[in-house]
């Protein structure tokens, strides 16, 4: 039974009738209903700075014909509001005629449990843990200048009503726990940040004192950065560590392989299907089916089951990531990549968990092959210009490499490269693939969605490092 | 239609009364209604039409010095009753923080000015479509332009801010904005650029053919960029990105960063941080200003504030909570800056370009490479080389890096300030930065 119409003047069958009637001359569309509960509890500067609980509910009604999308959303799940939205959609598409495609694959798989992480850990125990984190880190000495820690938890229920009473449902838990520490020594201050998360309960990530490992890692990164010297400037070899540095893959090629940019021919990859876009040892997939991962989804926000989509296989471009609209216009099928931040947003093709698979080399082999370069272990965030293909990301932990040996840590610097050519510069792929700790949020067209990344260590022959030292 | 004040006031009062009944000693609440209509075009054809009608409620309850908040979009009293109960329950068990409180009563805004922030004109979708047809026609004239996307958004807002000390006020605002993104192509490589404008009043908007023309020109000018050698060179920031320097300053002088000790400008109050010719002002009371407001997000009165005067840092951006931590009174900057700008410099744009034989002129940066704690700065960039005062060729796939402390001290402003956004700066030059290229 649907909970969305419990307090409404309209019931599910009436809503379904409005959907069917509105979409009868359209190619596609649905009524997307969402109930979203979330919490944020933040400790900062020795205090619980804020505790906030959010409760949001609404619908997004979409009608699609040809390339045209009509969308209307509201918090008000009522007969009047839905009728008004319906009139709006019909008015926008009045001169168009489409044929509704009723086909949508079904799934019995589930990649996460229907739990509410907010309710299955008590408020008091969250406050206690935040205080423990603060005390634990501050006990490491007067070098600790500032500690911030926070819980972010949510539970999202979605219901997708398609034409002719097809109803698809999903319940999605998501948590994230973050620690940030600022260290000060000899007047110099540096930050270290670490976090964990995914689609499980908080305690799956924090039990048995494992929260101490998160604190230790944040502290370690800040301590490394206290010893950092200015980063070099110019083109050089770059070794990327495994795990989270895969945001390079996400920025450099992931966005460029999303269906919308390729349908519109505005991606630097739009005419490269079937061609060699990476070195031979490089295989990249986008997988929505990993259990309990941050980027995983049982069904996407159009109701399509997710899958493991091969993007690049042994260097050859194989597939784009598609939602229903772009798949239809490009004559292919949805890869279960249609996502939206909330009911307030239209669907776009997006990444889920983007991963470069393991090769055969060890990280040591890579480092010892570099005369002059850098070894980048962790990153802040990145960004890409889809059209020109240029992308950046910021190192938060990196070291110089001289004559095959890891040297001093270097200050945070931006690395810049060119998406379509960077993967051809990958000369060695490591045997140590690792998933990120579950902290990524991807932004596109003003919409943020949770994503994951993974990669082994890789050696890139040439990249521009944006330091200050010439 | 946008809801009237009485509707919002009724909900705000309900929240305050119910919270007090359940034991709250102080209550703050904001109720917002917004309606937004957007139409977008691609390659001269309708692409998307989007209507949004949404409510938001933020409630903060205090029990003595304990505090907790809830947000909701469902304003039904049955839902609010449950949420208020939840908020009070959380407040009771949240640890005490002696700095938690509503703003001092004598700081609250008492007068309302008509700042000309609301234009009730409704621009129907047919008109928006007509507007975008002109934008797209102007953007598509040159055959090097291979893709155009443009949009028109009309936004109407109304809100009430209220608290248990008797403050209750709010007003309507409107926004009309239009943008165009053009993609140009030559020899199989593509570049993208844009033009964007946002105004409080429909009649003040940039003409549609201007928007299209500028976006197309900018995208074409970027074609065929080169990567340059790594070097130390003077970097000129185009007006579209020079405002970013002010946003960094704003983060670094927020009372939160100062009180936490995590700003590279900590302890710099009354010190010279810019050349003595520089003045930086934050003025909430500009008529039709994009960042204008009658009071800040806590209801505290705010007025024009000189952040930097003759190069000297004079003020922080202070709200109630962090103000108490610093033993300073709120200056009405809860929620951040309002209309923030550099006063104009003395040089014309041309004169600035001619100060040296060679400069790098940056029109776009990518990445989030500013560190407020250390002042270190490193971002990806693209733009043009300037030789003998002329833009000679486009440049891309480079980074620019430096430290804000030195960048601030080596800053020269042109006199071409325009009030286009909420944060605005003229074209500016930073004498020496490290450029990483080849």
Asked whether residue A204 is domain-assigned, the answer is: no
Q: Which of B97, B259, B380 is closest, CB to CB, to A416?
A: B380
Asked whether residue A13 is domain-assigned, the answer is: no
Q: Please state the rounded mean pLDDT for residues A375-384.
A: 90
Q: Which of A145, A231, A393 is closest, CB to CB, to B261?
A: A145
Q: Please state the rounded mean pLDDT for residues B297-308.
A: 97
Q: How confident is the model at residue A381 (pLDDT cuts 50, 70, 90)?
A: confident
Residue B428 to residue B296: CA distance in whole angstroms: 30
Quick one: pLDDT at residue B425?
98
What percentage of chain B has pLDDT greater than the value 90?
97
Quick one: pLDDT at residue A208?
85
Asked whether residue A423 is domain-assigned, the answer is: yes
Residue A77 to residue A433: CA distance in whole angstroms: 46
**Each residue of B385-405: pLDDT tens digit?**
999 999 999 999 999 999 999
Residue A219 to residue A311: CA distance in whole angstroms: 37
Quick one: pLDDT at residue A345?
96
Choose among B58, B146, B162: nearest CA to B108. B162
CB–CB of A52 and B42 under 8 A? no
Range scoring the smallest mean pLDDT among A2-11, A230-239, B269-278: A2-11
**Domain that residue A413 falls in:** 233-466
CB–CB of B367 and A381 under 8 A? yes
Q: Is B343 near chain A, with CB under 8 Å?
A: no
Residue in chain B lying closest to A87 (CA): B51
What would the two tokens of residue A157 be? Answer: 């229920």
CB–CB of A266 and B190 under 8 A? yes
Q: Please state the rounded mean pLDDT for residues B41-62.
A: 95
Q: How confident is the model at residue A2 (pLDDT cuts 50, 70, 90)?
A: low
What would the two tokens of residue B141 be? Answer: 């004239």
CB–CB of A464 and B436 under 8 A? yes
Please tell me the distance in Å from B112's CA to the nearest CA on chain A. Answer: 31
Residue with tokens 């990153």: A379
Q: How confident is the model at residue A413 (pLDDT cuts 50, 70, 90)?
A: confident
The reported pTM is: 0.93
What's the 3-state SS for chain A?
A: CCCCCCCCCCCHHHHHHHHHHHCCCCCEEEEEEEEEEEEEEEEECCEEEEEEEEEEEEEEEEEEECCEEEEEEECCCCHHHHHHHHHHHHHHCCCCCCCCCCCCCCCCCCCCCCCCCCCCCCHHHHHHHHHHHHHHHHCCCCCEEEEEEEEEEEEEEEEEEEHHHEEEEEEEEEEEEEEEEEEEECCEEEEEEEEEEECCCHHHHHCCCCHHHHHHHHHHHHHHHHCCECCEEEEEEEEECCCHHHHHHHHHHHHHHEHHHHHCCCCCCCCCCCCECCCCCCCEEEECCCCCCCCCCCECCCCCECCEEEEEECCEECCCECCHHHHHHCCCCCCCCEECCCCCCCCEECCCEEEECCCCECHHHHHHCCCEEEEEEEEEEEEECCCCCEEEEEEEEEEEEECCEEEEEECCCEEEEEHHHHHHHEEEEECCCEECCCCEEEEECCEEEEEEEEECCEEEEEEEEECCEC
Choose among A56, A70, A158: nearest CA to B55. A56
* Average pLDDT, rounded, for chain B: 96
Please tell me the distance in Å from A3's CA to the nearest CA on chain B. Answer: 14
The helix/strand/coil state of B147 is: strand
What percentage of chain B has pLDDT greater than the value 70?
100
What would the two tokens of residue B418 be? Answer: 């325009």
**Each residue of A276-288: pLDDT tens digit?**
999 999 999 999 9
Tally of CA atoms within 13 A in the half-sphere of A412 that contains its CB: 31
What's the 3-state SS for B48-91?
A: EEEEEEEEEEEEEEEECCEEEEEEECCCCHHHHHHHHHHHHHHH
Residues of A in contact with B79 (CB under 8 A): 7, 55
**Each residue of A102-128: pLDDT tens digit?**
888 998 899 999 999 999 999 999 999
What would the two tokens of residue A198 be? Answer: 């995914």
Which helix (H) or strand (E) is B252 found in, with range? helix B239-252
Tally of CA atoms within 13 A in the half-sphere of A422 that contains its CB: 31
Look at chain A and report how many structural domains it folds into: 1
Q: How confident is the model at residue B111 (pLDDT cuts 50, 70, 90)?
A: confident
CB–CB of A344 and B54 under 8 A? yes
The helix/strand/coil state of B284 is: coil
Maximum distance among all Cα pairs of chain A, rounded to whole angstroms:
73
Residue with tokens 């070894």: A375
Quick one: pLDDT at residue A419?
87
Residue A461 to residue B262: CA distance in whole angstroms: 37
Choose among B29, B125, B27: nearest CA to B75. B29
**Each residue of B313-348: pLDDT tens digit?**
999 999 999 999 999 999 999 999 999 999 999 999
Fill in the DSSP letter of residue B102.
P
CB–CB of A69 and B48 under 8 A? yes
CB–CB of A68 and B74 under 8 A? no
**Each residue of B181-216: pLDDT tens digit?**
999 999 888 999 999 999 999 999 999 999 999 999
Residue A393 to residue A378: CA distance in whole angstroms: 10
Q: Please state the rounded mean pLDDT for residues B71-94.
A: 94
Asked whether residue A288 is domain-assigned, the answer is: yes
Q: Is B17 near chain A, with CB under 8 Å?
A: no
Contact (CB, 8 A) for A23 and A100: yes
Best to test chain A binding among B59, B61, B380 (most A CBs inside 10 Å): B380
Q: How confident is the model at residue B86 (pLDDT cuts 50, 70, 90)?
A: very high
The helix/strand/coil state of B137 is: helix
CB–CB of B72 and A123 under 8 A? no
Tally of CA atoms within 13 A in the half-sphere of A202 that contains its CB: 27
Over 60: is that where the pLDDT of A1 sits?
Answer: no
Residues 206-245 of B with CB under 8 A from A: 225, 227, 230-232
Residue B368 to residue A112: CA distance in whole angstroms: 33
What percentage of chain A has pLDDT greater than the value 70?
100
What would the two tokens of residue B216 be? Answer: 């197309």
Residues 95-114 of A with CB under 8 A from B: none
Contact (CB, 8 A) for A414 and A382: no
Q: Which of A53, A69, A75 is closest, CB to CB, to B87?
A: A53
Asked whether residue A93 is domain-assigned, the answer is: no
Q: Which of A47, A53, A184 is closest, CB to CB, to B90?
A: A53
Asked whether residue A369 is domain-assigned, the answer is: yes
CB pairs under 8 A between A and B: 251
Measured from the Cβ of residue B32, the count of other Cβ atoms closer than 10 Å reads 18
Over 90: is that where the pLDDT of B168 sits?
Answer: yes
Contact (CB, 8 A) for B265 and B258: yes
- The answer, yes or no, to whether ipTM is higher than 0.85 is yes
Q: Is B246 near chain A, with CB under 8 Å?
A: no
Q: Please state the rounded mean pLDDT for residues B78-105.
A: 95
- Domains of chain B: residue spans and CATH: 5-221 (3.30.2290.10), 225-438 (no CATH)
Residue A130 to residue A149: CA distance in whole angstroms: 6
Maximum distance among all Cα pairs of chain B, rounded to whole angstroms:
72
Asked whether residue A11 is domain-assigned, the answer is: no
Those residues with Cβ within 8 angstroms of residue A139's Cβ, 6 or more apart along the chain or in another chain: none
What would the two tokens of residue A154 be? Answer: 């949510």
Q: Please state the rounded mean pLDDT for residues A170-185.
A: 97
Residue A221 to residue A395: CA distance in whole angstroms: 11
- For B173, left (φ over 0), alpha (ψ -120 to 50), or beta? beta
Best to test chain A binding among B68, B367, B373, B430 (most A CBs inside 10 Å): B367
Please tell me the distance in Å from A58's CA to the nearest CA on chain B. Answer: 8
Residue B112 to residue B169: CA distance in whole angstroms: 9
Contact (CB, 8 A) for B232 and A234: no
Asked whether residue A169 is domain-assigned, the answer is: no
């Amino acid at each position: 039974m649907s909970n969305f119409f419990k307090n409404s003047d309209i019931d599910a069958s009436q809503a379904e009738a409005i959907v069917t009637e509105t979409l009868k001359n359209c190619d596609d569309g649905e009524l997307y209903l969402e109930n979203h509960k979330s919490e944020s509890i933040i400790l900062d500067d020795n205090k619980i700075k804020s505790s906030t609980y959010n409760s949001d509910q609404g619908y997004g009604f979409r009608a699609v014909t040809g390339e045209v999308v009509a969308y209307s959303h509201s918090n008000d799940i009522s007969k009047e509001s839905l009728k008004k939205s319906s009139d709006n959609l019909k008015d926008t598409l009045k001169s168009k005629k489409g044929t509704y495609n009723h086909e949508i694959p079904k799934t019995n798989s589930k990649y996460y449990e229907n739990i509410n992480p907010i309710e299955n850990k008590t408020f008091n125990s969250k406050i206690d843990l935040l205080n423990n984190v603060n005390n634990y880190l501050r006990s490491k000495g007067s070098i600790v200048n500032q500690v911030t820690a926070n819980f972010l938890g949510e539970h999202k229920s979605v219901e997708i009503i398609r034409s002719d009473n097809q109803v698809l449902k999903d319940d999605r838990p998501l948590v994230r726990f973050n620690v940030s520490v600022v260290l000060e020594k000899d007047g110099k201050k540096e930050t270290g940040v670490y976090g964990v998360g995914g689609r499980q309960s908080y305690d799956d990530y924090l039990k048995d004192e494992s929260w101490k490992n998160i604190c230790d890692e944040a502290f370690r990164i800040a301590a490394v950065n206290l010893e950092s010297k200015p980063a070099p400037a110019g083109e050089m070899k770059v070794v990327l560590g495994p795990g989270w540095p895969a945001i390079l893959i996400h920025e450099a090629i992931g966005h460029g392989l999303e269906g919308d940019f390729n349908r519109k021919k505005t991606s630097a990859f739009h005419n490269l299907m079937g061609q060699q876009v990476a070195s031979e040892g490089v295989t990249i997939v986008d997988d929505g089916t990993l259990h309990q991962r941050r980027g995983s989804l049982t069904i996407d926000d159009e109701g399509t089951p997710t899958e493991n989509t091969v993007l690049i296989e042994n260097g050859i471009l194989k597939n784009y990531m598609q939602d229903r609209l772009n798949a239809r216009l490009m004559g292919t099928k949805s890869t279960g990549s249609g996502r939206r931040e909330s009911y307030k947003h239209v669907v776009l093709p997006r990444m889920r968990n983007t991963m470069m698979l393991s090769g055969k080399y060890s990280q040591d082999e890579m480092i010892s092959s570099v005369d002059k370069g850098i070894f980048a272990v962790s990153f802040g965030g990145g960004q890409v210009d889809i059209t020109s293909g240029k992308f950046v990301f910021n190192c938060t932990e990196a070291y110089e490499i001289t004559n095959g040996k890891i040297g001093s840590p270097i200050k945070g610097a931006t690395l810049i490269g060119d998406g379509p050519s960077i993967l051809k510069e990958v000369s060695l792929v490591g045997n140590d693939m690792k998933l990120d700790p579950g902290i990524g949020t991807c932004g596109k067209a003003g919409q943020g969605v949770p994503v994951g990344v993974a990669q082994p260590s890789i050696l890139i022959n040439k990249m521009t490092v944006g330091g200050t030292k010439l | 239609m946008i809801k009237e004040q009485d509707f919002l006031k009724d909900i705000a009062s309900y929240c305050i009364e119910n919270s007090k009944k359940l034991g709250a000693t102080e209550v703050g609440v904001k109720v917002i209604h917004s309606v937004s209509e957007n139409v977008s075009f691609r390659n001269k054809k309708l692409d998307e039409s989007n209507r949004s009608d949404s409510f938001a409620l933020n409630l903060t309850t205090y029990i003595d010095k304990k505090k907790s908040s809830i947000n909701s979009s469902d304003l039904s009293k049955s839902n609010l009753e449950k949420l208020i109960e939840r908020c009070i329950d959380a407040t009771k068990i949240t640890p005490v923080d002696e700095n938690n409180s509503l703003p001092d009563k004598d700081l609250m805004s008492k007068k309302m000015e008509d700042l000309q922030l609301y234009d009730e004109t409704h621009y129907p979708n047919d008109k928006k479509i007509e507007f975008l047809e002109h934008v797209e026609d102007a953007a598509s004239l040159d055959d090097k332009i291979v893709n155009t996307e443009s949009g028109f958004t009309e936004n109407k807002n109304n809100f009430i801010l209220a608290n248990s000390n008797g403050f209750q006020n709010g007003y309507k605002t409107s926004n009309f904005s239009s943008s165009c993104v053009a993609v140009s192509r030559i020899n199989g490589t593509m570049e993208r650029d844009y033009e964007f404008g946002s105004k409080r009043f429909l009649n003040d908007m940039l003409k549609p053919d201007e928007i299209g023309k500028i976006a197309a020109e900018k995208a074409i000018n970027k074609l065929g960029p080169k990567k340059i050698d790594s070097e130390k060179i003077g970097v000129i920031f185009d007006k579209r990105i020079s405002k970013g320097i002010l946003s960094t300053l704003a983060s670094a002088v927020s009372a939160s960063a100062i009180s936490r000790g995590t700003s590279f400008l900590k302890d710099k109050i009354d010190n010279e941080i810019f050349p003595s010719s520089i003045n930086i002002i934050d003025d909430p009371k500009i008529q039709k200003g994009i960042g204008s407001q009658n009071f800040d997000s806590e209801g505290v009165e705010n007025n024009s504030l000189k952040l930097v005067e003759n190069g000297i840092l004079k003020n922080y951006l202070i709200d109630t909570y962090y103000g108490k931590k610093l033993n300073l009174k709120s200056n009405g900057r809860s929620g951040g800056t309002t209309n923030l700008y550099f006063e104009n410099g003395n040089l014309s744009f041309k004169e600035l370009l001619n100060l040296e034989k060679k400069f790098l002129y940056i029109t776009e940066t990518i990445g989030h490479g500013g560190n407020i704690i250390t002042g270190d700065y490193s971002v990806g960039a693209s733009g043009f080389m300037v030789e003998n005062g002329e833009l000679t060729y486009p440049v891309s796939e480079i980074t620019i890096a430096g430290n804000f402390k030195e960048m601030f001290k080596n800053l020269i402003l042109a006199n071409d300030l325009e009030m286009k956004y909420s944060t605005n700066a003229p074209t500016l030059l930073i004498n020496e930065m490290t450029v990483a290229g080849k």
